[in-house]
Amino acid sequence: MSAGTHHTIGQTGVPAAATAAAYIRQTVGAVWRDPVAGIVLGSGLGGLADRLENTVRMPFSRVPGFPTATVAGHAGQLLYGTLAGRPVVMLAGRFHMYEGHEAPLAAFPVRVLHALGAPVYVASNAAGGVRRTFVPGDLMLVADHINLMFRNPLIGPTESGDERFPDMSDPYDAALRALMHDAAAAVNVPLQDGVYCGLLGPTYETPAEVRMLERLGADAVGMSTVPEVIMARAIGMRAVAVSCITNKAAGLSHEKLNHQEVMDAGKAVAGRFESLVIEFVRRL
Ligand code: HPA
């Protein structure tokens, strides 16, 4: 922990989430209304934060229990405000395990959103397209996931209120997925269902790994979201996730992968992604 920070990195459980939530509520002040959703913005998708109205912002570094986000493209801000007139909490940035964070910390923001009263968790991410027909700029609604991170945020003693053995037969809420499809149709944004596979990173995959993922049933591959959705299910939040396909996964095109291209592709679909999520929140 660097000098001057006012909290201990690594406090990630229920009491720590309550402390973070108290700080956020207090910072928002009198205009606070319980959020209809907590929304995390993935790489290149931070533009939705600018669509928020009546915004109150706080840097991650101010939120008790949050470390400072480090990845380029992740502003590292928590925002409170309204989308389509409905209160939401938004995180521009997240804590990836490839940064060295343990799974409980990667999932900690979800605990905080829950402590703030959000019944719905909306994840977004940048992902490589494993399904061969996916092209950069496609949006995929996550129908299910495969956890190849080999980590789980629930390892350790059970926190009060957590399920010890959470059911994962319906991790992405069917009614919310239907609502997302309705929203996509309403704003004329193509949205295809698929399976997201989470890997630790930070390397992109090898072509052989991508062929393996394809055989395993993955449609997209990324380095986030899975710990967060596991946490959401364990604490009784309904979850939904949208992947922005920023590139064909390794070996499926002749391009080499780099983070800048991922970011640029994210920005190219940002407009469609923003319309989709705003319309979704309107329907919540
Ligand atoms: N692999 C893993 N994570 C990613 C990719 C990818 O190809 N693109 C964006 N995030």
Task: Tell me if 223 CB under 6 Å of ligand 1.
Answer: yes
- Selection from 96, 92, 100, 107 nearest residue 59 by Cα: 92
Q: According to the model, what pLDDT value does residue 80 have?
A: 98
Q: How many CB atoms lie within 10 A of CB 207?
A: 11
Task: Tell me if 244 CB under 6 Å of ligand 1.
Answer: no
- Selection from 180, 173, 219 nearest residue 198 by Cα: 219
CA 2 to ligand 1 center in whole angstroms = 31
pLDDT in tens, the chain (284 residues): 343 344 345 578 999 999 999 999 999 999 999 999 999 999 888 899 999 999 999 999 899 999 865 555 455 899 999 999 999 999 999 999 998 899 999 999 999 999 999 999 999 999 999 999 999 999 999 999 999 999 999 998 898 888 889 999 999 999 999 999 999 999 999 999 999 999 999 999 999 999 999 999 999 999 999 999 999 999 999 999 999 999 999 999 988 888 888 788 777 889 999 999 999 999 99
pTM above 0.85, yes or no: yes
Pocket test for ligand 1, best of 146, 205, 213, 219 (most atoms within 8 A of CB): 205
- Relative orientation angle of helices 108-115 and 14-28, to the nearest 10 degrees: 60
Q: According to the model, what pLDDT value does residue 8 have?
A: 42
Annotated domain spans of the chain: 9-283
CB 58 within 8 A of CB 76: no
Q: According to the model, what pLDDT value does residue 196 have?
A: 98
Task: Tell me if 249 CB under 6 Å of ligand 1.
Answer: yes
- The CATH number of 9-283 is which of 3.40.960.10, 3.40.710.10, 3.40.50.1580, 3.90.45.10? 3.40.50.1580
Answer yes or no: 224 catalytic.
Answer: yes
CA 203 to ligand 1 center in whole angstroms = 9
Instruction: Tell me which amino acid residue 205 is.
Output: E
Task: Tell me if 247 CB under 6 Å of ligand 1.
Answer: yes
Strand-pair partners of 135: none
Q: According to the model, what pLDDT value does residue 72 have?
A: 54
Q: Of 21, 223, 232, 237, which one is the catalytic site residue?
A: 223
Instruction: Tell me which amino acid residue 120 is.
Output: V
Q: According to the model, what pLDDT value does residue 3 have?
A: 37
Distance CA 265, CA 246 (A): 5
Q: According to the model, what pLDDT value does residue 4 have?
A: 37
One DSSP character per residue, the chain reads: --TT--S-TT--SHHHHHHHHHHHHHHHGGG----SEEEEE-TT-GGGGGG-EEEEEEEGGGSTTPPPP-STT---EEEEEEETTEEEEEEES---GGGT--HHHHTHHHHHHHHTT--EEEEEEEEEE-STT--TT-EEEEEEEEE-S---TT-SSPPTT--SS---SS-S-HHHHHHHHHHHHHTT---EEEEEEE---SSPPPHHHHHHHHHHT-SEEESSSHHHHHHHHHTT-EEEEEEEEEEEPTTSSSPPP-HHHHHHHHHHHHHHHHHHHHHHHHH-
Task: Tell me if 205 CB under 6 Å of ligand 1.
Answer: yes
The DSSP bridge pattern shows strands 77-83 and 120-129 to be unpaired
